[in-house]
Structures are given as structure tokens and as C-alpha cells.
A and B are shown apart, each in its own frame.
Chain A
Amino acid sequence: MKRYDAIHALVQALDGNELLISSNGMISRELITVKDAPQNFYMIGSMGLSSSIGLGLAISLSNTQIVVIEGDGNVLMNMGSIATIGHFAPQNLLQVVLDNECHDSTGGQPTVSNTARLEEVARVSGYRVAARVTTEAELVKVLRQSLGKGPAFILVKVEKGSVKGIARVSHSPEEIRGRFQQAVRMISG
């Protein structure tokens, strides 16, 4: 599965009332290309912190589904976040990890996710759902089962490589923040 196709399948499976946090690099660039929306918080820096931002949102907005989309490199930078999320266990938090076993955005340098079973770390840390999927159909199936029943961790095995010539995130960081906060008010009432 290509990462872009995984993001496309994920976005299609959601109903549009979720808040999405996408990690820096190619993941945010592919998400904005699949579907730009005010409820997408595109990170362009602070690598590793997408799940922590998701936790802060999930604790504060207990009736709103939060979806974090990040890579294996992000998870490995902030493993403590898995322990904190498992402890506080917000049911409205879904963490989707697009695992290509490398830092694709900086030239494909290998990570160690080929040997570290990240979804098992999530499972033993207290996540209610922890799955590894390899097809779009499996991703959509587990995702639908996970919404509102988290914390959930779905590790999606994806191929290395990006869509050629993909656009950068065109909104300024302040625009991303401002429209996301408006979306929060709309969605969470």
C-alpha cells in the first residue's frame, strides 16, 4: 500500500466531524492534497509531538473524535507519549501510524520500526485497540471499529516513497491554527 492511498482511504472512512492532527513532512503534504479542511491541523515542525497534541485535545474535548496521523519516525521520537496516552486512555483518540520503516521526508534513512513492534508497545501500555494492518480494506475495517473506543493504535504498513511533485502545505501556521480553532468550536459546539 502506498502512503497516499492509506491517507486517502482513512479520510474517506471518516465522516468529517473529526479533528485531525497530521505530522510534519510528507504526511501533512499528502493529507492536504487528499482533502484540505479546517479541522486538519498540519504540523510543519515539532516532529514527534503529534500524538501529544492529540492527547491534549482528546482530554479537553471528550465528545469529539481526535485522529492523529503520523509516521514511524514520529512515534519513535516520543515513545513516552504512548505510556501517557495508555494511562489516561481517552476513548476519543485514534493514532494511525503510517509505517514505512524510514524517514521518507529526509531521503529514506532507515528507522528501527522493522524490529520494534510499535503496536505491541501500545497494547501493553493500555490502548484498547492495537492493530497492525497491511491493506486498505483492513485499515478501514479497524478504523471504523476504533472510533469512540480508543485509545486506538493502528499501525499501517506502507511502501517507501512519496507522490512525485506533491505540493507543500500552503497555509501559514497562523492560518492553520486559526481555522482549526474555528473548526473546534463548530464541531464540539
Chain B
Amino acid sequence: MVSASQFCGMLKSYGFNFCTGVPCTILKDIILCLSSDPDLPYIPATREDEAMGIATGSCLAGKQPVVMMQNSGLGSSINPLASLDILYRIPILLLISWRGYQGKDAPEHLLMGEAMLKMLEALGIPYQVVSEDNPEAAISASVKAMRERGIPAAAILKSGIVQ
């Protein structure tokens, strides 16, 4: 387990300086932490695809963006990922919360909880699941893949790891 401020500090230590997205309960402490952080400002988007667009603009401007979303929002992000960020090679860190993990969640999360990793694989997006023992390992590996390949990479966050 890691605190939200430690987690945000870690994101900043990797150079991230722009954040946008749509909230999830799993991400709420991180977003709260960023709401008062001028070094990693958080721009709330109305939808996840809008967040991908805003992050893309910031990246073109020279920023290093993170997009936070619940995995339900991955569905809304498929087109911008496929026809904008992978196509134009725009590196963005996706921090995706994993609702529906192991089939234990509200019914609306179960199918996406099962399908999420396969969807990322189908799109060719590198991903890492954040582990409780060493949260930084997943961020470090995702950032490496993102920068080497120049495309978005995902870090998947389960409930209870960042508090």
C-alpha cells in the first residue's frame, strides 16, 4: 500500500506534469491530492475520449501527460487510442482503475473487468498491473515502454493499493 501523495510524487519523479481524466472511486485519493498540486495539475474531462484529446494537446505542447480513468472509460477511449495516439505516436501514461477484478464487483463492471487486458493487448498497448508490494515497478515499466515505443502505455490499479 502507498499513500496518494507518495503515488503522485512518484508520477512527478518520472517527469509527468499534466493530468486529465474522469474519476473512479479507486482513483479518488489521487485526484484529490492533485487538485491542490500546481506541479501536476488535474483537468477534469467530461468523458474519457475528451481526456485523451486534452492530453494529446498537452503532449504536443511539450508536456508529459497522464490520463486517469476507470476501465469502463477504456471503451470510450478506443477510437482516440487507435486513430490518434497510436497512429500519430503520442506517448501518454494511462492510469486505469480495475473495476470488476476477479468477478467481484457490481454487475456493470464484470464484463469490462474480464475484457480489459485483452482489449489492451488487441490494441497493442503495453500495460503493467500495479502490485501492492512494489507499486513503482509497474509505473517504471510502463513509462519505459511508453517512451521506447512512443505510444500510450497503461498502468492498471486495483482497489486498496493507493490510499
> Which residues of A are in contact with B by a Cβ distance under 8 Å?
21, 41, 43-61, 78, 80-81, 83-84, 88, 173-174, 176-177, 180-181, 184-185, 188
Contact = CB atoms under 8 A, between A and B. Distances in A.
A56 B57 contact: yes
Nearest to B50: A52
Contact of B45 (A43, A44, A57, A80): A80
A46 B53 contact: yes
Contacts of A49: 49-50, 52-53, 56, 80, 84
B106 interface: no
A84 B45 contact: yes
Given A45-B82, A56-B54, A184-B60, 16 more contacts: A45-B79, A46-B49, A49-B80, A52-B45, A52-B49, A52-B54, A52-B56, A53-B53, A53-B54, A54-B57, A56-B58, A57-B58, A60-B18, A78-B49, A81-B53, A173-B89
B57 A53 contact: yes
Nearest to A175: B88
A48 B60 contact: no
Interface size, B (range): 20 to 34
Contacts of A41: 60
A54 B87 CA distance: 18
Contacts of B50: 49, 52, 78, 80-81, 84
A55 B54 contact: yes
Contacts of A55: 43, 53-54, 57
Contact of B62 (A45, A53, A58, A184): A184
Given A55-B54, A80-B47, A81-B50, A60 B61 contact: yes
A188 B58 CA distance: 13
A55 to B, nearest CB: 5
B83 interface: yes
A105 to B, nearest CB: 14
A46 B79 contact: yes
B54 to A, nearest CB: 4
Interface of B: 18, 20, 43-47, 49-63, 65, 79-80, 82-84, 87-90
Nearest to B82: A45
Contacts of B46: 80-81, 83-84
A181 B60 contact: yes
Nearest to A177: B88
B61 A56 contact: yes
A80 B52 CA distance: 13
B83 A44 contact: yes
B90 A56 contact: no
B43 A45 contact: no
B84 A45 contact: yes
Contacts of B84: 43, 45-46, 49
Contacts of B89: 173-174, 177
Contacts of A59: 43, 54, 57-58
Nearest to A83: B46
5 contacts: A56-B55, A56-B63, A57-B60, A60-B63, A88-B43
A45 B83 contact: yes
